[in-house]
Structure formats: C-alpha cells, structure tokens
A and B are shown apart, each in its own frame.
Chain A
C-alpha cells in the first residue's frame, strides 16, 4: 500500500468514527483517538506505516506517531472539507454574481419608475383640479396619462425581469441545496453498522451528525420555494432573492450553512495595501499643495525657489517610495513612517533630512528636544548646588570651591563638574542619537563617556521607591523578631515535659511574648508606603500606628525583663537591640544573651503562601498539625528557620485527576505474576491493619499459588506458625475455612460502616451460624426482604467481577521481605485479641437478637457461651505461653532463616529483574524460598499438595469454629444468588 492509499484508509477510519455512536467506539490506548471497536490495531498499523513513509523514518520508538498522524490527517480532513465548500461557494458566487448585479440595477430602475409614477400622479391630480375644458390642460393631462401608462407597463416589465432574475438566482441556489441534501442522504445509505442516524424534517433518513445542516437546508429550500412573486423581492447577502418578510429567517439561516455563507467572498477581492501607500498619498497631496503655492508665489522668486526645491526633493522621495512598493528588496523601515529598499537607506535618510515635510518625523529632532528639557533640569540642579552655599552665609571659615565662576561646597565639586560635562555632551549631540536609559540622548562617539559620567553623579543615581526604602530599613528588625521566635520554639524543645501552649510549638509561659512578637512582625510587614511614616527604634511605621507600636514594644520589653529576672538559668531571649532606647539596662543583658545564642539561619522575610505543619514537639501536641491562620506568617517562618517543616496535604485522601488510561504493554508478564502481586499487597495491608481474620484466606490463596510457585510459602508458613497449630495445620485450611473467616471479617467491616444495620448484622451472623435456607421463613416481613436484599447486594459486591483473566505468580522484592518481617512480629498476638473481640461481639449480638426474636433459637446457649469463653481464655493462655516460651525461643531462628533466605533470594533481584526472564527469576526465588520453607515449617510441604478438607465436626476445641449446621456449599449459595442477581440485571 502506498502513502496515498494508506492516508485514504486512515481518513476513512476516522470519518467512520465521526459518525458512530459512542458505544461503538474505542479509544486507542495512550491517546484520545476514537476509532470503531476492533479497528484499533488496524489504525495503529496503518498509522505507523504512513508515518514511516511520510517522514522517511525507518522505525518508530514510541507511540507518539499516532497523535502526529491523527492530528495531521484531521487537519487535512478539515482543510479538504473547507476547500470543497469554498469551491462550491465560488461556483455559486460566479454564476449568480452577474444576475444579482442585474437584479440590483432592475431594482433601481423600478424604484425610479415608481417615484416617477408618484410624481406624475400628483401632477395629474393638480391638473385635474384645473379647467379641463382648456385644451392645453387637456392635452397635458392626456400626455401625463400616456406617460403613466408607459411607466406602469415599464413597471410590469421590470418586475417580470426581476422575477426572471430571482428565478435564475434562486434556481442555482436550489440546485446547490438539493445536491447537498442528496449528498447527505447518500451518506446515510453508505453508512456502516453502528452509525448514529436520525431523520430530517422531510423524514429522510440521514446521519445524526448531518441533521442540523440538513434541516437548515430544508428550511431554506422551503423559503425559496415559497417566494411570492406578487410581493416585493429583495436579494440578501448577494446570495438569494426572497420576500422582505422572509429576510430575517434567511439572514439567520445563511451563517449556519457554510455552503451559502458567501459574504466573505467580496472581502477577498480587497486590494492589498503596500507599505508606502499612505505616505505616497500624503506626499502627493503635499505636492499638489506646493504646486498651488508655487503658482501663487510667482512674484516672490526666493520663496518660489524654496518651494520648487522642496517639490523636487519630495518627487525624489516619491521615487524611492514607489520603487520600494513595486520592486521590494530588503525593505527597511525609516523613522517609523517610510519603507525603502535596503541599499537606498542612507541616501533616502539624507534626502528626507533636508526636506521641510519630514522635519517633524526626524527622531533626532525629538531626542534633541528631550535633551533640551534634561539640560534645563541639570542646570536647575547646578543652581541648587550653588544655593547650598547660601545656607552658610554669615558663617566664617567655611571652605568653598570655585568652578567656572560658581561658588559651591567642596564636597559638591566633583558632582558639579560631572554635571557640567554631561550638559556639554548633551548640547553637542545632534545627529544619530542613542537613547540612554538613565536619561539623555547622545551620539555614538559620546556614549561611553556619557555613561561613565552619569554613573558617577548623584543626580542620575537610581531612585529608591518608598516600598524598597521601608523594606530595607525594616529588614533588620524583622530578622531579629524571627530569631526571637525561633528561640521560643527552641526553648520549648529543650524543656521536656513542660506544658505547651495549646496548638502551638512553644511553652505556655511564652505565649504572651510569642503573640506580641507575632503582632510586631505583622505590623512591620503591613506598613503602607502611601501613608505618612515615622521611625521608631530603627523601624519605619505608619504614623497612625506609632502609638500602638510603641505600646507593643513597651509591653514586650516589660515581659522580657520580667522573665529574665525570674529565670535562674540562662535561656533565650533576644531582639532587644531595637528597643534599646526604651529600657537600656535590661536591653544590654538581652543583647549579651543574644550574642551567646547560636546563629539561626536567616529566614526569608516574604510572606509564606502555604500553611505548613511543624515537627511534633510534645505528646500533648501531637494532634495539632494546622497553624491558626493569623499566625501563618510567623509559624511558617519558624518552620522554615528550623528546617523541620512538613507539608500537610501529603496525607492520604488527596484527590488526583486521572490523566490517561491505557492497557499494559507487558500483558504476558502481568498474566503470570498478577495473582502474587495481589496476594502480597493484601498480605501487607492485612498485617498492617491487624486483620488477622483474613490470614486464613491468605494461607489458602498462597497454598493454591504455591503449587505453581511457592514464593510466599516461607513467609506465610512462618507468620502462621502458631495459628496453623490451632486449625489442624496450614495444609488443613481449605476454601470453606478461608471464605468463612473472610466473610466473618467482611460482616464486621460492613457492620461498622453501616452497610448492614445493627439488627441485620446480628441476624446475618446468626444466619451464617445456622442453615441459611431455613431461616427466611421464620423472619417477619419486611425484615426478611430487607435482609435477603442485603445478602444479595452483599454477595453481588463480593463476586461482582469474577470473569477475569487467569493470572499467576509474581515476585515482589523488598515488599515481600517487609511483609514477612511485620507479620512475624505482629500476627499472632493480634490474632488472639481480635478473635477474642469477635467472639465477645458475636455473643453480645446473639444475646440481644435472641431477646428481640424469642421465636428463633438462640445461636449459642449458656453452656455454649461458657464453653466459648473458656476456649478463648484457654487459647489466650496458650498463645501467651507460646509467645513467652517456644515462639520467642524459636523466633530468632525463624527470623534469621527467613532473613537469610530472603536475602539470598532477593538481594540481587533489582539487578536481575531486568536481566532474567520472569520465569527464570521466579524459579530462582522459588528454589531459595522453598529451602527456607522446608527448614521453617515441615507442614509447608502440604501446600504443594491438594489442601485437605477440614473436618468441621472435629476441629480442635480452641478454635472459633464455624458451626456444624452450615451446609458445605453455604458460600456457594451466596455466590449463586449473586450470579442470579447479575443475570437479572
């Protein structure tokens, strides 16, 4: 297939998708391209070949080509459609253009005819009032009547001619509309299965995408067909002719029909303006004006000669401009007004500089005007320097300096001389001036010297804004506050077991000082540069807040002095320098202390944008993560200063948008390993959440998977070492046991979240402990229905998606190791507690349930309860003794064996994962782990065998057993219900 054929096929697929229902479409993974279901691979293959052919690329490394090809073809599709529309528009426009012009002429004639008729009728009326016996009057009346008759005949002829034109114009439009409608109808006939279809207003079957266009065309067609020839006719948008009352409807429709939206056509024919058109026009006008002036100045030879010279120059200018317009070559802009060819630039500038006409446009003239203003300012500045001397009039022995006859202060001598030099340069700068950002325009040869001079003068020194001034001045004070606040935090850290201020990282005793410092900091940060300022102890404050600020400083100083006098050991406190003029004595001490403190890293003074939490300092403060809003600034500074910030928002539960969904590229790998990946993840969470009831399910799942690759058997063997002994060995755990425990866990969990109400929960538990099928008959409605519904819903949720691919084993490096370690430490002890809790819960529910429904047998009688309690106690005693003796003794061996073997199996896994095939990796790890398993737990061998069915009647007595009345297939009953439910849906 060649490039063109590939392109056509791809366009065909894209066009097909455009008309299909969403349910028939499929997204190409990794893109937003939609194609018909089942054509993804086809599209990808064609797109890949097309990309390679079109770009001469032999191979494509990634799937970016899909989007590239799609976008380019989409653009091409739109362009092609647009071009086809434009061609049709053009054809229609060409055909109708002359006719519509004719129509307009006819319309004008008709208007004239009608106004003539009106005029003559009025004359006739006037004449009729006269004496009609008068022959001349009679004759005139007769003439007028003849003329009016002719006019009326002409009117009919004009009208008929206009109707003919209307028919021609509308006939062409009608042809186009009908052809387009037929095309749309044909598109439906050629549509493929699954395409979205609809009906047009004429009940024709069409594609849904075409409906709007088809209906608009249909309405327009009906309008055209219903033009009343007896009524006036007008032409709209140079497109078609209708009655005036149809005008609004047509004007609304035309923009919606691309095919007939011809309005833009005329715009295309507009003349393209050339760069010098406007200037040429203006100069031509100027030349006309000069011509007149020359004619008038005949007598004044001098004036005439000047005008003629100007005229001659402007004609030369015109030549340059026309040349640039017509034979454009390296066009160069001149003075933002003219464009000339590059080689003509110099000659042109020299020419226009000599003309009066261009004088106002000369940029040098503008710059020289700026210089004049600057020179004036500089001279005023020199005068101000001279005036300084006058301030010392009458004082003897003041050393003065003389520069160019001016007497100035000696310290101003250099400044004065520099300014004089600058003025000289500015005065002599006339041609080809360069603008200097600091001020002034000078010629290139003076530029360096001028810049050097202005860099030395105070006059040109950068102006500091009020805001900057405040920021600079207050910076030091702010830094000191930051340091003091940091000290308060440090003091809290270094004072164990002390009471902390609520919600703060500081001592409760420091709260007042902390609040005052925070307030001071906020005041400094909120100084408004637009208001009057006063300086208070080195800081700039708004005059309106001076008193408040001084009071705050007083309070702060008192507080710190008081604390210092109370303290026996030297602890923090700083920031006293700024308050030195208030309490000098105490301040000295504070300053001294401040210098003893270790340096605190400077804290950025800008306001923080986010709220941060700090390291938890004390146990009574552990729940406090958020800082109160008004203290954001300070708290943020503290956190940054200590470098112990920890962002909130990193917590769980953050919502994240899904950017893309795709299928795996390593389907085979995942098929082989997914089940183990799932198992490991579940094991991890089960262990970390102490959900020991789910452990049998893990053992069961692992025992099944172990037949293929007993990767986890070492781990589960170890973690369930104790548990296994109570259920007749790991190998004894079958599906019923695992599912029973899992359901039990699920019921508890569902009860907690309210999915199953408390009473239902109790009954559900009873149901699980009794024969399921016999209970519903005894339950009163609607309770029964509610319960059955809940069971069905619950079962459905459990098994809603069982039709999944067959996946197998996986390896999972450190996760596996971590799971094993955590499990070894936690599972047994947690298991005892949880089972005990569950049993107590079960007994409590059963008791209340029996009370509420006395007709139902109690699930556990008094003896059972006593027995159960005894079993739990026995189990707890047994576990405790095992943990204290055997297990602890065995533990080091188990741990070390697990560790050694895991290390051996997994230490090189990251490196090997890429080098080995999954099968090789699994085989190597399995082999190592199998060794560990065999050493750890001889019973793990059972896992390779068929799991032994558990004899429920003969379970060891210390197990929370599933009641014997439960049918063997009780879980299947639930599953069947769910299946039926699913089928019902």
Chain B
C-alpha cells in the first residue's frame, strides 16, 4: 500500500490513504473514508498494515500509546510537508 492509494476493505468501505508512517518495522496508515464520488466522509482511521499468509489486512490501531506516537509522527510529517511547500512557493 502506498500514500494516495484508495483501498477497499472486505466490508466494501473505501479509504484514501493520506499518509503512512513506520514504527518498529510496522506500517501504519492514516486514512479517511470516502464516498462513491471519492469525497471524504467524516471517518478518519488509523490502521496497521498486516500481511498474513500472503493476504493484506488492515487492523485498526487500538493501543492509545501507539496511536499517540503515530499521531505525533504524522503531525511531524505534516508540518514538514507544509514547510516544504511554503519554501517551494
């Protein structure tokens, strides 16, 4: 999975992958649910990418400490992005 991919889960709900961070060799996805027209809905999700027996799964992050860490990392990514953009302008 990559940033900007649209993933469809087994319940047929689609998510846009907004960002990905790595922590302890695990990939964590920051996603938002989208509608049929690919507009964002109100559901933001933080998934862990799990590959088991060759099948790709997402698992919602439950551990508040992990969540807090990846949110910090995502926040850092975000401000770095906007800073870069600001410099590019």
Contact = CB atoms under 8 A, between A and B. Distances in A.
Interface of A: 651-666, 669-670, 673-675, 677-679, 681-682, 684-686, 689, 691, 694, 697-698, 700-701, 704-705, 707, 735, 738-739, 742-743, 745-746, 748-750, 752-753, 755, 797-802, 804-807, 810, 812-815, 818, 913-914, 975
Contacts of A701: 78-79, 82
B80 A799 contact: yes
Nearest to A747: B72
Contacts of B57: 655-658
17 contacts: A652-B61, A655-B58, A656-B57, A661-B5, A661-B6, A662-B5, A663-B5, A666-B37, A669-B38, A674-B4, A677-B16, A678-B19, A684-B44, A685-B71, A753-B63, A802-B80, A804-B81
B24 A755 contact: yes
Contacts of A810: 40
A664 B4 contact: yes
Given A678-B30, A753-B66, A798-B80, 16 more contacts: A658-B56, A675-B81, A675-B82, A678-B18, A682-B75, A682-B78, A689-B71, A694-B75, A735-B79, A743-B72, A746-B69, A752-B69, A799-B80, A801-B21, A801-B77, A802-B84
B85 to A, nearest CB: 6
Residue among A654, A660, A681, A755 with the highest chain B CB neighbour number at 10 A: A681
Nearest to A818: B42
A657 B55 contact: yes
Interface string B28-64: 0010100001111010101000100001111111111
Given A656-B57, A657-B55, A670-B4, A749 B10 contact: no
B8 A742 contact: no
A743 B59 CA distance: 26
A247 to B, nearest CB: 41
A913 B80 contact: no
A735 B83 contact: yes
Contacts of B81: 675, 802, 804, 807
A742 B20 contact: no
B7 A660 contact: yes
B15 to A, nearest CB: 10
B84 A798 contact: no
B18 A752 contact: no
A679 B85 CA distance: 15
Contacts of A689: 64, 67-68, 71
A678 B55 CA distance: 28
Most chain A CB within 10 A, of B5, B38, B73, B88, is at B73
B82 A665 contact: no
A798 B76 contact: yes
Contacts of B39: 913
A280 B39 CA distance: 73
A681 B15 CA distance: 13
A749 B68 contact: yes
Contact of B12 (A654, A659, A749): A659
Nearest to A698: B75
B18 A681 contact: yes
Contacts of A659: 8-10, 12
A750 B22 CA distance: 13
B71 A797 contact: no
B85 A806 contact: yes
A753 B24 CA distance: 10
A424 B67 CA distance: 84
B1 A658 contact: yes
Contacts of B78: 675, 678-679, 682, 697, 701
Contacts of A805: 4
Nearest to B34: A664
Contacts of B61: 652-653
**B24, B69, B76, most chain A CB atoms within 10 A:** B76
A664 B30 CA distance: 16
Most buried by B among A659, A698, A752: A659
Given A675-B81, A682-B78, A797 B9 contact: no
B51 to A, nearest CB: 10
A685 B68 CA distance: 9
Nearest to A682: B75
A689 to B, nearest CB: 6
B8 A660 contact: yes
* From B8, B21, B44, B82, residue with most partner A Cβ within 10 Å: B82
A478 to B, nearest CB: 35
Contacts of B20: 801
B4 A704 contact: no
Contact of A658 (B23, B58, B65, B73): B58
B10 A705 contact: no
A822 to B, nearest CB: 13
A739 B79 contact: yes
B71 A704 contact: no
Contacts of A804: 3, 81
- Central interface residue in B7, B40, B65, by most chain A CB within 10 Å: B40
Contacts of B9: 656-659
Nearest to A802: B80
Given A670-B16, A685-B44, A746 B76 contact: yes
Contacts of A739: 76, 79-80
A663 B8 contact: no
A653 B75 contact: no
Contacts of B16: 664, 670, 677
A458 to B, nearest CB: 54
A662 B20 CA distance: 16
Nearest to B67: A689
Contacts of A753: 63, 65-66, 69
A752 B68 contact: yes
A812 B41 CA distance: 8
A418 B58 CA distance: 70
Contacts of A661: 1, 5-8
A740 B61 CA distance: 25
Nearest to B41: A815
A798 B73 contact: yes
Contacts of B50: 655
Nearest to A798: B76
B38 A666 contact: yes
A707 B88 CA distance: 13
Contacts of A798: 73, 76-77, 80
Nearest to B28: A797
A652 B11 CA distance: 15
A662 B7 CA distance: 6
B18 A677 contact: yes
A656 B11 contact: yes
A662 B24 CA distance: 27
Nearest to A947: B86
Contacts of B75: 682, 686, 694, 697-698, 742, 745
Contacts of A748: 68
A921 to B, nearest CB: 11
Contact of A657 (B10, B30, B63): B10
A694 B59 contact: no
Nearest to B19: A678
B85 A704 contact: yes
